Amino acid sequence: HHYIGATWHVLKIELYEMGWNLKDGLRECLVAAAPYGGPISLLKGHNRRSPSARPQLEIYSSSGLPLASFPWKSGVVKQLGWTVSDDLLCVQEDGTVLVYDLLGGFKRHFSMGNEVSQSQVLETKIFHSPYGTGVAILTGALRFTLATNIDDIKLRRLPEVPGLQGAPSCWAVLTQDRQSKVLVANGSHLFILDNTACTPVTPPGLSPQASSIVHMCVSFSYKYLALLTDSGHVWMGTSNLKEKLSEVDTKIKTPPKQMAWCRRPKSQQPSAVVMWDGLLIVVGECKETIQYHLDDDSILVPELDGVRIISGTHHELLQEVPGACEEIFKIASMAPGALLLEAHKEYEKESQKADEYLREIKEQSLLSEAVRQCVEAAGHEHEPETQKTLLRAASFGKCFLSNFPPEQFVSMCRDLRVLNAVRDYTVGIPLTHTQFKQMTVQVLIDRLVYRKLYPLAIEICRYLKTPEYQGVSRVLKHWACYKVQQKEESDEVIAKAVSVKLADAAGIFYSEIATKAYESGRTELAIKLLEFEPRSGEQVPLLLKMKKSPLALSKAIESGDTDLVYTVVMYLKNELNRGDFFMMLRNQPVALSLYKQFCKHQEQDTLKDLFNQDDDHEELGNLYVKASYKEQRLEARIALLQSAVDEYYKAKNEFSAKTTEDEMRLLRFQRKLEEEKGELLVGFSLHDTMTTLLSVGLHKHAEQLYKDFRVPDKRFWWLKLKSLAEKEDWEELEKFGKSKKSPIGYLPFVEVCIKHHNKYEAKKYVSKVTPEQKVKAHLAVGDMEGAAEAAIERRNESEISTVLSRCSATTDHLLMERLNRAKATAVKK
């Protein structure tokens, strides 16, 4: 361990000796290294313009192992950069941005707009924000154009910077208030550019000796800003320019090559790194600086919790010393962690001093704190041996603690195992524990997948017990997507390989794999793969795209999702000629009935064709009946009904045919009568027609309908009875009652008369009712005597009771006595 500086500690550790073999180091190279230990891209001789000597684009892992290399054939590249998903962006002079994956595969390109291509790119910065990866461009016209998210490009041209004559001395992109802004220095003036305005700003307490700001950098979190002035002062403060944290004189007045923040999250002190040729200076809160000599051309890669320094031969990490490590490893430290480590060392040596140390910790009740310190420090260590020593000490300490929650220890052991695996030279992802926690396992798995390190990714998923569909299955899907693009293998071999590997994996989306296969021109393979897709809904869109419509239709039906069936049906309707379309539907009853539903609402004529095709005369008949009701003109209506009748006969549905004929007959009758008598009748039911006729005194016509339509006597009697009573035509009613023996009896006569409050008329019919209804009839007209008489005569107990219940104790006293006597005998019997 290098412990440098007296007041605050910075630690430089070597991550890798670079595996690449660069002749001239990084000299004359355009270099871009992705954060989170991501890949490095180099473009050698990017300024060469002759077609004979094309520049070479190379991509390496962080350990310098080659991932891709190819000659650059497009335009002049101004800037390289990496996206959050490990894609390489190459920004050309003309504002075109080319996107490559990290293995050098071309993905797409996009333009930064006309204005940029006309005035050319002067400078470019690629930046990351919560919205994704963005590109900021300074054009030849000294204007800034910004795209905040390259996956959803919305170009923004920022306002003009006043007084800008040439390229600004320096600028940076920062994210504030959910907006990306540009901070520009023009000499000693500083401006913030947002969508609408260019605002001059002044850093509080900036040294007055400065006449120009020559360099600036924003921290990884966009929270802090560092400015370097021509007087060699580094000003450090918050990026909203509200607060100054520190200012340090580097005593160097030449412009630096690069500057970066080197600060741990939650750290109390600011620190930045400034790099010149051969020299690196770390500045912090105090006046003192830490200096490193650099042998070689290097670049700085800012990270969440430090800065990586990459040179032609080495890859190092510069970090503030983590608190836990400092506590433990500080010389003569009495921190609980340090004592525990010491205790464990003594224990290993089988020395009794172990007990002394332990006791010392326990006396202060700091054992759990000691364990925590050791675990945390282990997380920050890169050397597996040191990690182990610390973890062993922690584990040793844990033995003397009851109820110490094991989670932190267990998960740290797991995390470190994963970290050591990906830091391995062959993988080359030098993540710190802090970075790993920030980026999450999910993203780490993605990154391994991008590198096609499928077995390692799967092993990590299994080891960390990541839920299958987020872990192993996802990796396998990516593997399969890659596999199906391998042209040299046959469809069968690939389909088999994929199905064997993926057989037990849960939640595999075969449709995505099939889509990849189809996109690489392998339709047959795609169909084979789709067979494995359990979600039939997902099969359908691709099958349609591949023009496998019958299969798509049956898959849609299988899914049970009717909306999906409609999707296919509507597609087929446009794609096929009518005959073929109908034919296909015929073989799929589910689709056919859904289509019929659709037609019922939107295409009545098509519906008719469908029924015709199936010789479904019954349905055709129904269709005509329905249509007839929409028709206003009577002639047309009758014509439609006639068509219905024909169809019903063809369907051998005599009842429907006859009924519809009756309906036509009634309509004609109603119209005739409307014309003759001026009564509104059309549309009435037969029953209502007769009622109307009777109510206006057209008895003959009502009689005619009664006979013609063979209305049952009972119903006709009821109808006539009610109509006459309604009209209070008592004379006619009496005549009617006497015309012949009533098929409904005479109780209804009594009741209907009573209903119309005519007791006098009602009484006329009481004598005519059947013996069973006598009591009821007498009661209806309020004749208690008569009711009692009838009930007693019939010796019916329940009838006697009914009458009794209607008697009033005050007025019908005698009657009640009689009834009670009769009841007694009736019961006896």
Partner 1 sequence: ARTVREPGAFRHLTRRSSSRLKELRRITKRCSVRIECIVSLPEDKLQPRDFHILFVPRRSLLCEQRLKEKGVLNSFTNIDEYILDLIPYDGDLLSMESESSFRECYLENDQTSLYHAAKGLMTLQALYGTIPQIFGKGECARHVANMMLRMKREFAGSQTQILPVFDTLLLLDRNVDLLTPLATQLTYEGLIDEIFGITNGYVKLPPEKFAQKKQGEGGKELPTEPKKLQLNSAEELYAEIRDKNFNAVGAALSKKAKIISAAFEERHNAKTVGEIKQFVSQLPHMQAARSSLANHTSIAELIKDITTSEDFFDSLTVEQEFMTGVDTDKVSTYIEDCIAQKDPLIKILRLVCMQSVCNNGLKQKVLDYYKKEILQTYGYKHILTLKNLERVGLLKPQSTMRNNYPTIRKTLKLWMEDANEQNPNDISYVYSGYAPLSVRLTQVLARPGWRSIEEVLKMLPGPHFEERQQVPTGLHKKRQPGENRTILVFFLGGVTYAEIAALRFLSNMEDSGTEYIIAATKLINGTSWIKSLMDSPEENLP
Q: Are strands 224-229 and 170-176 parallel, antiparallel or unpaired?
A: unpaired
Pairwise CA distance, residues 667 & 386, whole Å: 103
Pairwise CA distance, residues 739 & 745, whole Å: 13
Of 213 and 780, which CB lies nearer to partner 1 in the complex structure?
Answer: 780
Pairwise CA distance, residues 717 & 694, whole Å: 12
Residues 683-702 that bind partner 1 (CB under 8 A): 684-688
Site string for partner 1, 725-764 (x = CB under 8 A): -------------------x--------------------
Of 566 and 730, which CB lies nearer to partner 1 in the complex structure?
Answer: 566
CB of 461 to partner 1, least distance (A): 12
Of 131 and 566, which CB lies nearer to partner 1 in the complex structure?
Answer: 566
Say which amino acid occupies 123.
E
Q: What is the C-alpha R_g of the chain?
A: 48
Does the footprint of partner 1 cover residue 773 (CB under 8 A)? Answer: no
Interface with partner 1 by CB under 8 A: which range of 83-91, 708-716, 767-775, 810-818?
A: 708-716
The encoded tokens of residue 549 equal 């419509």
CB of 294 to partner 1, least distance (A): 51
Pairwise CA distance, residues 287 & 251, whole Å: 11
CB of 686 to partner 1, least distance (A): 4
Between the alpha carbon of residue 676 and those of residues 87, 700, 701, the distances in Å are 89, 14, 12
Does the footprint of partner 1 cover residue 506 (CB under 8 A)? Answer: yes
Residue 802, class by beta-carbon neighbours within 10 Å (0-12 exposed, 13-18 middle, 19+ buried)?
Answer: middle
Pairwise CA distance, residues 705 & 711, whole Å: 8
Pairwise CA distance, residues 388 & 374, whole Å: 10
Q: Which of 462, 626, 652, 735 binds partner 1 (CB under 8 A)?
A: 626
Cβ-contact 155, 138 below 8 angstroms: no
- Cβ neighbours of residue 616 under 8 Å, at least 6 residues apart? 651
Does the footprint of partner 1 cover residue 598 (CB under 8 A)? Answer: yes
* Interface size with partner 1, residues (CB under 8 A): 55
Q: Which of 371, 594, 620, 638 binds partner 1 (CB under 8 A)?
A: 594
CB of 659 to partner 1, least distance (A): 6
Q: Order of strands, edge to edge, in the sheet holding 40-44?
A: 29-33, 40-44, 56-60, 66-71
Does the footprint of partner 1 cover residue 590 (CB under 8 A)? Answer: yes
| Chain centre distance of CA 731 | 80
Does the footprint of partner 1 cover residue 442 (CB under 8 A)? Answer: no
Interface with partner 1 by CB under 8 A: which range of 371-379, 542-550, 605-613, 655-663?
A: 655-663
Does the footprint of partner 1 cover residue 581 (CB under 8 A)? Answer: no
Does the footprint of partner 1 cover residue 205 (CB under 8 A)? Answer: no
Angle at which helices 562-575 and 549-559 cross, to 10°: 160
Of 425 and 684, which CB lies nearer to partner 1 in the complex structure?
Answer: 684
The encoded tokens of residue 407 equal 């989670």
Does the footprint of partner 1 cover residue 550 (CB under 8 A)? Answer: no
CB of 773 to partner 1, least distance (A): 13
Of 696 and 744, which CB lies nearer to partner 1 in the complex structure?
Answer: 744
Of 492 and 708, which CB lies nearer to partner 1 in the complex structure?
Answer: 708
Q: Give 419-427's long-range contacts (Cβ < 8 A, gap of 24+).
A: 420/384, 420/387, 421/456, 421/459, 421/460, 422/37, 422/448, 422/456, 422/460, 423/15, 423/37, 423/382, 425/16, 425/19, 425/63, 425/65, 426/63, 426/65, 427/61, 427/63, 427/451, 427/453, 427/456
Interface with partner 1 by CB under 8 A: which range of 291-299, 445-453, 707-715, 731-739?
A: 707-715
Pairwise CA distance, residues 747 & 146, whole Å: 95
CB of 541 to partner 1, least distance (A): 12
Interface with partner 1 by CB under 8 A: which range of 2-10, 29-37, 71-79, 626-634?
A: 626-634
Of 593 and 739, which CB lies nearer to partner 1 in the complex structure?
Answer: 593
Q: Order of strands, edge to edge, in the sheet holding 298-303?
A: 10-17, 314-320, 306-311, 298-303
CB of 652 to partner 1, least distance (A): 14
Of 333 and 653, which CB lies nearer to partner 1 in the complex structure?
Answer: 653
Does the footprint of partner 1 cover residue 722 (CB under 8 A)? Answer: yes
Does the footprint of partner 1 cover residue 539 (CB under 8 A)? Answer: no
Q: Which of 111, 622, 704, 802 binds partner 1 (CB under 8 A)?
A: 622
- Cβ neighbours of residue 42 under 8 Å, at least 6 residues apart? 22, 26, 29, 30, 31, 57, 58, 59, 60
Closest CA to 118 of 99, 95, 98: 95
Does the footprint of partner 1 cover residue 625 (CB under 8 A)? Answer: yes
Does the footprint of partner 1 cover residue 265 (CB under 8 A)? Answer: no
Q: Which of 269, 642, 659, 758 binds partner 1 (CB under 8 A)?
A: 659
Does the footprint of partner 1 cover residue 536 (CB under 8 A)? Answer: yes
Pairwise CA distance, residues 716 & 720, whole Å: 6
Interface with partner 1 by CB under 8 A: which range of 55-63, 71-79, 448-456, 682-690?
A: 682-690
Q: Which of 74, 111, 368, 559 binds partner 1 (CB under 8 A)?
A: 559
Closest CA to 77 of 61, 97, 63: 97
Q: Where along the sequence are the contacts to partner 1 (CB under 8 A)?
A: 467-469, 473, 505-507, 534-536, 558-563, 566-567, 570, 589-590, 593-594, 596-598, 601-602, 622, 625-626, 628-630, 655-656, 659-660, 662-663, 666, 684-688, 709, 711-712, 714-715, 718-719, 722, 744
